[in-house]
Homo-oligomer: A and B are copies of this chain.
């Protein structure tokens, strides 16, 4: 797998997939810029009268509940249903799972519609696995990272999605394996929406790479590696945000492969 990851980055640049985002207000601009930087093409839209039509022209769909409300949730459900109908992949970012009962109720409905991939931090993935009475007994008593790992495996088993746990070490979980990535930089946690950016980039890769696990690994590695390289020339979170966009745009095969720290 390690050898093919950069080729997936090239594929995104060449094929320029159209990614529709029903995402939160906080990250719309940075998400769109990140998608443009990697060579994909972003659309942000949420109006009910155009949700079906938009699925016909999109190659993948991002559902991010960060600033959800009733209208947006309805738009998400229409879009996901149509995406499934058209066999277009969609990716779920369960922002703030567990923070309020409303978020949990919305996520319960969304996840039943079977995303191709899910990306969240450890606590989001754990909270998500506890919804819909999925089997979580025993999970509560173990350590945080192991909990998230077991939760990810439960989510994969129940819904079939590839699961990405973001953190100091990023972990990608599918039915057969788990892949760990040890790239990134702690300063990335001081930029709002880095996770949301990772989810949108994941959708772009899943749109054009058939192997969803490889798509998830390549997308996650790209974000973490660009963050790691950008942090070396940044003096704080403001400049880091700028430098990550520049690096997403310009990263080369050599830079990517020399920086990559992957284990399976």
Q: List the interface of chain A (C-beta within 8 A of B).
A: 24-30, 32-33, 36-37, 42-50, 53-54, 57, 66-71, 96, 99-103, 189-193, 234-239, 241-250
Partner of A250, one of B48, B189, B235, B246: B235
Per the bound structure, the CA–CA distance linking A37 and B26 in Å amounts to 15
Is B49 touching A102 in the complex (CB atoms < 8 A)? Answer: yes
With most chain B CB atoms within 10 A of its CB, the pick from A27, A239, A245 is: A245
A204 CB, nearest partner CB in chain B, Å = 14
State how many copies of this chain the complex holds: 3
Can you list 12 A-B contacts (CB < 8 A)?
A25-B28, A25-B44, A29-B30, A33-B190, A36-B189, A36-B191, A44-B67, A190-B249, A235-B246, A236-B245, A238-B242, A238-B245
* A26, A28, A48, most chain B CB atoms within 10 A: A26
Task: From known contacts A67-B45, A69-B71, A192-B32, infer whether A50 and B102 are also in contact, taking CB-CB under 8 Å.
Answer: yes
Partner of A25, one of B25, B96, B101, B237: B25
- Of the residues B100, B237, B247, contact of A54 by C-beta under 8 Å: B100
A69→B49 CA distance, assembly (Å): 8
Task: Assess whether B237 is in contact with A246, with CB atoms less than 8 Å apart.
Answer: yes
